[in-house]
Copies of this chain bind each other. A is one copy, B any other.
Amino acid sequence: NEWRSRKKVEIIQYVMLKWGFALIIGLGTGLVGFFNSFAVENIAGFKLLMTTSLMSQHRYVEAFLAYAGVNICLAAAAAALCAFIAPAAAGSGIPEVKAYLNGVDAHQILSPSTLFVKIFGSILGVSAGFVVGKEGPMVHTGACIASLLGQGGSRKYHLTCPWLRFFKNDRDRRDMITCGAAAGVAAAFRAPVGGVLFALEEAASWWRSSLLWRTFFTTAVVAIVIRVAIQFCATGKCGLFGEGGLIMYDVSSSNITYSVNDILVVLLLGAIAGILGSIYNYLVDKVVRTYSVINERGAAFKIFLVVSIALLTSCCFYFLPWITNCSPCPSGSTMSCPSLDESGEYKSFQCPPGYYNDLASLFLNTNDDAIRNLFSPRIVKEFHISSLFIYFATIYFLGIITYGIAIPSGLFIPVILAGAGYGRLFGRLVESMTNLDRGLFALLGAASFLGGTMRMTVSLCVILLELTNDLLLLPLVMLVLLVSKTVADCFNKGVYDQILKIKGLPYLEAHAEPYMKNLVTRDVVSGPLITFSGIEKVGNILHALNGTRHNGFPVIDEPPFSDAPELCGLVLRSHLLVLLKEKIFSRDRGFADKSILQTISSLDFGKPGSGKGIKLEDLDIKVEEMDMYVDLHPITNASPYTVVETMSLAKAAILFRQHGLRHMCVVPKSQGRPPVVGILTRHDFMPEHVLALYPDIKPHKWQ
C-alpha cells in the first residue's frame, strides 16, 4: 500500500538502510558478545584464582567463604537488576524472541531496559558460577538491538530518529529481529553459519531467501568483529580473556575409524540421551511452574530464590570434589600439574603435590573450561567413573533447578555440560565394547543431549561443528542427533516450546492440528462482527472502538457509493486512532478531498514501538464532532487476505501462519449475504479456543 507511492530514490534509501541496519546489528551484537566473554572470563577467572590461591595455603574455610561470598554477591546483583529494572529479562529469551517472530507482541520483551539488564545480568549470572549459559541472553540481546534500531530508537529515552520511519511495519521489524537472533548465536558460540541456521530452524516462523542472505551478512559481520577482537586480545591486553580462539572447544581429532560395533554403541548413547533429555524437559517444566508462583510474590522473593540457588551451587561445587580421590599427575604432560593458572586443567585442590583432583577441574572452573576438559582426549586427561557420575548428576540436577530463577539464563551450556558429562561417563562404562575415544563420547553425549532437549537438527549440527572443529565426526553427530530427537519427541515437546506454553504466549504451530481438517473457517468465527462503512460517522467508530478490543475492522462500501454492498478492505484500530486524534472529519458524507488526503499521507501510520501507540483515552472528541463523517478509504488496506467460509480450518491456519497475518476476512460462498461473514485472528486458531467451541473433538497425536 505504502510502497506504491514511493519514489525510486526512497526505495534506494530503503534498501541501503536495511543493509546498513544489518551491519549495525552485526557490529553491535559482536561487540556485546566480545564484552560479555571478556567480562565473564575476567570476573570468574579472578574469583577462581583467589579461591585456588587460598586453598594452596590450606585456608579452606576462608576459600569457601570467598568463593561463596563472591558468587552470592554477583547473583544478588543480577537478581536485583532483573527484579527491579526489567523482569522480562529473566530466563533464556529465546522463547520470547520466537514468539515475537511468530507475531506475538508481548509487553516489554524488546525494550531498552530489557536490553540493559540482559547484557549485565547475563555477565553477572554466568560469573556467579550458576549452571547457566550466555547464548539465550545473547540471542535476546541481538533481538533487542535490532528492535531498537527498527523502531528508530526509544521514544522513552528521547532517542528517536524520524528518518527511520520506513521500518515501522511488522515485516521489516521481524526481518531485523531475525537478523538479531542469528547474530546472537553467532556471537555467543562464535558460530556464524550456525547462527543463520538457528534463526532459520528455531527462531523464525516466516522465511524468505532474501532473509537468508541478510542474516548471513549479519553473522559474517559478527564473525569478523569477534575475529578482530580475538586477534587484538592475543597480545594479552584483555586480562584473562582470549582462550579458545575462534573455535571455542577445539577437539580437531585425528583420523578416527569406527566399526559397526561402535555405531551400535553410539545409537544406544543417543537413545538414552533422548530419554534423559525428555525427563530434563519435564522437570524443567515443573520447576519453572513452581518458581513462577514464588517469583510472583515480589522482588524480595525473587532475590531470595536466586541467592539460595547460588548458595546451593557454591556448596555443591566446593564440597563435592572432597569426595573424590586424588589422581597422580600424568608424567608426559606439557601442562604444569597441578596447574597454576585460572583455567585449571589439573586443579590441586586438597591434594598433595604431584597429585590433582579431577572433579575440581570440572567444578571449580568456568563452564567453558569444564567443557574443554570433558572434550579432551583420553591421552591428555582421564576421569574416574565416580567423578564423572557425581559431576553429571550434579549438573543435571542444578541445571533443572536453576532455570526459572530471576536471572538471564541460557540453556545451551547447562545441556552441553550435562551431556558432555553423560557422554564421557557412558564412554567409560562401555570402554570394553568400543575403542572410540572418550573425548569423542563426551562430544557425542553433548550433541545427543542437545537433540533430546532442544529438538533442533541442522542448526545444532553446524553449531557443534563450529564449536569443536570436528568435521570427521559429523556422520556420528548427525546420527545421535536423529536418534535422541526421535526418542525424545515420543514423550514431550522441545524445551523452548514448553516455556512458551508456560508463559501463555499464543504461539501458532507450523502445522495445523489434525482435527482442524474436519472444521471449516465458518465454524470458529465467533462474536458479533463489527463493520464500518467506507464513510462512517465518528460516533459509530468511537462506539465500536470502545465496545470491543478488536484490532481490525472490515470496511464495506454500500450504496450509493457502490452498486451493491462490497468488501472494500480492512482498517486497523491504530490507524483509526491516528485519524480520530488528528480530527480528519468532514460535515457531509462524501469522499475526502485532495487537501485532506495530503494531510493524511503526512501522518505517521507506522507501527509504534512496544506499547507506545495512541490510546483511546488520549482522544478528545467533542459532542458536535460525533455526528461528523470520516472517509476511511485512504487508510483502508484494500487487499486483505480472505478465505471462503467453507475453507478447511487447517488450510486457513497454515495460510495465516505462513504469511504472518494478524487478520483474515471470511467471505461467504453464496450470494445474497453480507460480503464479509467474519474476521479470524490468531486467537481463533489456538487449539484452546477451537476445543472450547467443540468439546467433543478428541485431539490425537498423529499428524
Contact check, A461 vs B564: say whether CB atoms are below 8 A apart. Answer: no
**Cβ-closest chain B residue relative to A642:** B644
Give the residue of B466, B474, B669 whose beta carbon is less than 8 angstroms from that of A675. Answer: B669
Q: Residues of B contacting A700 with CB < 8 Å? A: 8
Contact check, A670 vs B562: say whether CB atoms are below 8 A apart. Answer: yes
**Cβ-closest chain B residue relative to A485:** B213
Q: How far is the CA of A411 from the CA of B520 in the complex (A)?
A: 48
- A241-257 residues at the B interface, CB under 8 angstroms: 245-247, 252, 255, 257
Contact with B along A184-228 (1 / 0, CB 8 A): 000000001100110011000001111011001101100110010
Q: How far is the CA of A564 from the CA of B668 in the complex (A)?
A: 11
- A1-15 residues at the B interface, CB under 8 angstroms: 3-4, 8, 11-12, 15
**Would A566 and B670 be within 8 Å (CB), given that A210-B511, A216-B458 are in contact?**
yes
Give the residue of B4, B566, B659 whose beta carbon is less than 8 angstroms from that of A655. Answer: B659
**Would A672 and B564 be within 8 Å (CB), given that A197-B458, A642-B644 are in contact?**
yes
Contact with B along A563-583 (1 / 0, CB 8 A): 111110100000000000000
**Would A648 and B644 be within 8 Å (CB), given that A472-B246, A564-B672 are in contact?**
no
Contact check, A217 vs B646: say whether CB atoms are below 8 A apart. Answer: no
Contact check, A212 vs B457: say whether CB atoms are below 8 A apart. Answer: yes
A603 interface residue (CB < 8 Å to B): no
A183 interface residue (CB < 8 Å to B): no
Closest beta carbon of chain B to A547's beta carbon, Å: 27
**Would A646 and B638 be within 8 Å (CB), given that A4-B518, A472-B246, A517-B3 are in contact?**
yes
Q: How far is the CA of A208 from the CA of B651 in the complex (A)?
A: 14
Q: Residues of B contacting A566 with CB < 8 Å? A: 669-671
A471 interface residue (CB < 8 Å to B): yes
Contact check, A642 vs B642: say whether CB atoms are below 8 A apart. Answer: yes
On chain A, the number of residues with a Cβ less than 8 Å from chain B's Cβ atoms is 83
A231 interface residue (CB < 8 Å to B): yes
A667 interface residue (CB < 8 Å to B): yes
Contact with B along A268-310 (1 / 0, CB 8 A): 0000000000000000000000000000000000000000000
Q: How far is the CA of A567 from the CA of B465 in the complex (A)?
A: 54
**Cβ-closest chain B residue relative to A563:** B670
Q: How far is the CA of A449 from the CA of B219 in the complex (A)?
A: 21
Contact check, A209 vs B201: say whether CB atoms are below 8 A apart. Answer: yes
Contact check, B564 vs A212: say whether CB atoms are below 8 A apart. Answer: no
**Would A479 and B220 be within 8 Å (CB), given that A462-B193, A520-B639 are in contact?**
yes
Q: How far is the CA of A255 from the CA of B638 in the complex (A)?
A: 58
Contact check, B458 vs A212: say whether CB atoms are below 8 A apart. Answer: yes
Q: How far is the CA of A313 from the CA of B99 in the complex (A)?
A: 57
A482 interface residue (CB < 8 Å to B): yes
Q: Residues of B contacting A213 with CB < 8 Å? A: 457, 485
Q: Residues of B contacting A154 with CB < 8 Å? A: none
Give the residue of B11, B224, B263, B569 whose beta carbon is less than 8 angstroms from that of A479. Answer: B224
Closest beta carbon of chain B to A178's beta carbon, Å: 14
Contact check, A670 vs B659: say whether CB atoms are below 8 A apart. Answer: no
Contact with B along A534-571 (1 / 0, CB 8 A): 00000000000000000000000000001111110100
**Cβ-closest chain B residue relative to A651:** B639
Give the residue of B197, B471, B641, B702 whose beta carbon is less than 8 angstroms from that of A651. Answer: B641
A162 interface residue (CB < 8 Å to B): no
Q: How far is the CA of A184 from the CA of B702 in the complex (A)?
A: 30
Contact with B along A472-491 (1 / 0, CB 8 A): 10110011001001000000
Contact check, A671 vs B672: say whether CB atoms are below 8 A apart. Answer: yes
Give the residue of B212, B227, B252 whose beta carbon is less than 8 angstroms from that of A201. Answer: B212
A510 interface residue (CB < 8 Å to B): yes
Give the residue of B4, B482, B563 whose beta carbon is less than 8 angstroms from that of A216. Answer: B482
Contact check, B220 vs A478: say whether CB atoms are below 8 A apart. Answer: yes
Contact check, A223 vs B474: say whether CB atoms are below 8 A apart. Answer: yes
Closest beta carbon of chain B to A615's beta carbon, Å: 31
**Cβ-closest chain B residue relative to A215:** B458
Q: Residues of B contacting A197 with CB < 8 Å? A: 197, 458
Which of A247, A639, A700 has the most B CB atoms < 10 Å from its CB?
Answer: A639
Which 8 pairs between the two chains have the least Cβ-Cβ distance? A566-B670, A220-B478, A639-B648, A223-B475, A639-B647, A564-B671, A564-B670, A216-B457
A-B contact pairs, 26 of them (CB 8 A): A8-B702, A12-B702, A15-B702, A192-B475, A192-B478, A193-B461, A193-B478, A196-B458, A216-B461, A231-B257, A245-B255, A465-B471, A563-B670, A566-B671, A567-B670, A569-B646, A638-B646, A638-B648, A639-B651, A641-B655, A642-B644, A654-B659, A655-B655, A667-B667, A669-B675, A671-B671
A interface vs B, CB < 8 Å? 3-4, 8, 11-12, 15, 192-193, 196-197, 200-201, 207-210, 212-213, 216-217, 219-220, 223-224, 227, 231, 245-247, 252, 255, 257, 263, 457-458, 461-462, 465-466, 469, 471-472, 474-475, 478-479, 482, 485, 510-511, 517-518, 520, 562-567, 569, 638-639, 641-644, 646-648, 651, 654-655, 658-659, 667, 669-673, 675, 700, 702
